[in-house]
């Protein structure tokens, strides 16, 4: 981890936008209010949520995180609030939802802007009074949970378009933090790259790879549509290919080697990177969806929905 002001609860960066973010975190983290984190895919929104939690009075209990993208109404209620035995086909026992697991702690709900209208109603009721019902039950339960939410979409615009409840948005956005995209962070790219190389070397054993001047220039010239997550996976690859020596441009993936860059909309580039990363993680985990989903920071159901969205599906459902 970088020192001398370069990190705040695991957040690495010295650019002005990151310094402002860390200043905001120092204020809102201990406050106990709800926080909404906005940033593009892969910028590190969950790291920000962890920093909020670590600086709060709830830090003695673990942060509980759930990615709700792609969950059906039934799965959303089952995953977030839990279900009773017999609530649906396959519910052979009671299931404790993420809200119950986060009792006395912080619940991080990622991609909340993608939930359905019915799921929005259920979440709104919980935020209004702390009460919820498990799927298949009529009894009301209560939970003492701090909610931190995140999206990579403009929720305020979705409210204007009638796609997201305004009253729910008001309850989610106690404070709104913005995580800058990696392409706007300048030399933070190199700080992060060195950090990831040291991290991978520590995990694997042996001397870490370093970066040649030409590799530095290639990293700084790249637009990073997948943001910090893309850089992390790039450095994991470099750590293996250039262990114990200075990585050259040839050790980087083709997109970073100075070849003509593919043009198109940012959203298309992000979707392309996401599909490539999901395939890579599934392959690294030999098709095990549960392990791949854990590594990607999402539920199995969310990963399954993403694979269908990209036109492929893992063998294990």
Question: pLDDT for 287-313, tens place per residue?
Answer: 778 778 878 877 777 787 777 776 665
% of the chain beyond a pLDDT of 90: 58
What HEC string does 57-125 produce? CCCCCCCEEEECCCCCHHHHHHHHHEECCCCCCCCCCCEECHHHHCCCCEEEEECHHHCCHHHHHHHHH
Task: Please list, in sequence order, all residues whose beta carbon lies within 8 angstroms of the beta carbon of residue 288, skipping any fewer than 6 positions away.
Answer: 316
d(CA 299, CA 281): 14
pLDDT classification of 70: cutoffs 50, 70, 90: confident
Residue 50's pLDDT is what?
Answer: 94
Q: What is the mean pLDDT of residues 6-30?
A: 84
Say whether pLDDT at 7 is over 50: no
Residue 6: pLDDT above 50?
A: no
Q: What is the pLDDT of residues 76-106, one digit of tens each?
A: 988 899 888 766 666 666 888 999 999 999 9
Given this model, what pLDDT does residue 3 score? 35
Confidence of residue 29 (pLDDT cuts 50, 70, 90): very high
Question: What is the three-class DSSP state of 269?
Answer: helix
Q: What is the mean pLDDT of residues 275-288?
A: 75
Contacts (Cβ under 8 Å, ≥6 apart) of 269:
223, 225, 262
Ranking 43-57, 131-145, 294-308 by mean pLDDT, the lowest is 294-308
Average model confidence (pLDDT) for the chain?
86
Q: Sort residue 181 into left (φ over 0), alpha (ψ -120 to 50) or beta.
A: beta
Q: What value does the mean pLDDT take over residues 267-296?
A: 76
Give residue-wise pLDDT tens across range 147-171.
999 999 999 999 999 999 999 999 9
Q: What is the pTM of this model?
A: 0.78
pLDDT range class, residue 18, cuts 50, 70, 90: very high
- Domains contained in the chain, CATH given: 7-180 (3.40.50.300), 183-309 (1.10.8.60)
Tell me: pLDDT of 118 over 80. yes
- Specify whether the backbone of 234 is left (phi greater than 0), alpha (psi in -120 to 50) or beta: alpha
């Amino acid at each position: 981890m970088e020192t001398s002001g370069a990190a705040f609860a695991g957040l690495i960066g010295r650019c002005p936008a990151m310094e402002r973010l860390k200043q905001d975190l120092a204020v809102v983290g201990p406050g106990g209010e709800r926080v909404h984190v906005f940033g593009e895919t892969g910028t590190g929104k969950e790291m920000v949520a962890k920093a909020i939690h670590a600086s709060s009075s709830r830090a003695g209990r673990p942060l509980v995180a759930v990615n709700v993208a792609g969950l059906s109404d039934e799965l959303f209620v089952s995953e977030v609030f839990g279900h009773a035995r017999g609530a649906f086909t396959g519910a052979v026992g009671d299931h404790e939802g993420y809200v119950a697991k986060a009792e006395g702690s912080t619940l991080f709900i990622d991609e909340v802007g993608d939930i359905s209208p019915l799921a929005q109603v259920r979440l709104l009721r919980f935020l209004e009074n702390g009460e919820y019902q498990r799927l298949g039950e009529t009894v009301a339960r209560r939970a003492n949970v701090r909610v931190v939410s995140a999206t990579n979409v403009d929720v305020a615009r979705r409210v204007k378009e009638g796609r997201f409840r305004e009253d729910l948005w008001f309850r989610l956005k106690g404070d709104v933090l913005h995580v800058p995209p990696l392409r706007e962070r300048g030399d933070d790219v190199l700080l992060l790259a060195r950090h990831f190389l040291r991290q991978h070397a520590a995990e694997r054993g042996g001397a870490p790879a370093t970066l040649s001047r030409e590799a530095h220039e290639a990293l700084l010239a790249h637009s990073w549509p997948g943001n910090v997550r893309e850089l992390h996976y790039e450095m994991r690859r470099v750590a293996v290919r250039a262990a114990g020596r200075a990585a050259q441009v040839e050790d980087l993936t083709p997109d970073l080697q100075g070849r003509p860059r593919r043009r198109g909309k940012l959203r298309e580039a992000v979707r392309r990177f996401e599909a490539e990363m999901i395939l890579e993680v599934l392959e690294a985990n030999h098709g095990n969806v549960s392990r791949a989903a854990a590594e990607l920071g999402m539920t199995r159901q969310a990963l399954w929905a993403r694979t269908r969205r990209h036109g492929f599906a893992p063998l294990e459902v």
